Amino acid sequence: MSVGSRLALIALLFASGCVAVQAGATATLVQEYSWTSSLPRFGGFSGIEVSDDGASFIAVSDRGTLWRGDITRDAKGAIASIDTTFLATLKTSEGKPVRGATSDSEGLAIAPDGTIYVSFEGIARVARYRTPDAPAERIPRMEAFKKLQANSALEALAIDAEGALYTLPERSGALDRPYPVWRYKNGAWSEPFSIPRDGEWLPVGADFGPDGKFYVLERDFKGLLGFRSRVTRYVISGDTISKGERVLETGPGRYDNFEGISVWRDATGAIRLTLISDDNFTFYLRSGIAEFRLSD
């Protein structure tokens, strides 16, 4: 293949919104959807969990609020509309609304019984909520959480089939330092493994898919060129993690600031990746939702 042909192919892949970087895993764009609402405090979404049937989702804003979206889909499974509901302002364990350093909510995970878990950046911690408007139930903090960089703490949060929580920081502290992955299981935190750091790529979201694999969303900000994103999936076995398989990578500026990921199985039986972007409460970014269908 000539250099010109290769460049044309790369341009076509970027334009389509995905690059399959390993054989056996291809992510195809289903659609982009601009999620809008006139409700106060709407925006800043950094985590999302889609229901098993794809008919609704819960999203967390980095301003300490929870939201629900009820989805109407067309015959092809694409989002036709979203009915938006404000659920609650997150509370501290004392029952007071989070504010200031306690309010920077980033990661979201929901257990099968509906229990909500949220990870925070300001005061790095993970909290449990029995219902959206319930007071937080404290989960012990690791000593390592207290040493994380400001505004670069617990962005990603996921829960596995056994109810164990997994979280990792947005920054590792050095370009050549792996990202520690912390697990909360049986009432205690541990650090069973880490994942490699690749330059300026930063983990901002995570989820366990219906295939049991651990999906990690990363982003890289290229200044005026905009954001690029990628998704890597791993197999976790006990205290070990696989090398990882890249299933999605987008070019700079193709999408907005993706920060949240939900992995589920659609009506065709295919695994679908739903990504949500943080508009940072600015006019030049969107609360965008993009969905990709994964083919193995």
The pLDDT of residue 16 is 37
Per-residue pLDDT tens over the stretch 219-234: 999 998 999 999 999 9
The pLDDT of residue 174 is 80
CA 78 vs CA 33, 58, 292: distances in Å: 9, 18, 10
What are the residue boundaries of the structural domains of the chain, listed by start?
30-295
CA pseudo-torsion sign 135, 140, 145, 146 = positive
Element (H, E) at 11: helix 3-16
pTM exceeds 0.85, yes or no: yes
The pLDDT of residue 5 is 39
The pLDDT of residue 11 is 40
The pLDDT of residue 12 is 38
Per-residue pLDDT tens over the stretch 184-229: 999 999 999 999 999 889 999 999 999 999 999 999 999 989 999 9
The pLDDT of residue 270 is 95
Q: Please state which architecture CATH assigns to domain 30-295.
A: 6 Propeller (2.120)
Per-residue pLDDT tens over the stretch 75-102: 999 999 999 999 999 999 999 999 988 8
- Residue whose tokens read 């969303």: 217
The pLDDT of residue 25 is 77
Q: Which two tokens stand for residue 255?
A: 């999408």
pLDDT < 70 positions in the chain? 1-24
Render 14-65 in DSSP notation, one character per residue: HHHT----BTTBEEEEEEEEE----STT---EEEEEE-TTSSEEEEEETTTE
Element (H, E) at 10: helix 3-16
The pLDDT of residue 24 is 58
The pLDDT of residue 88 is 98
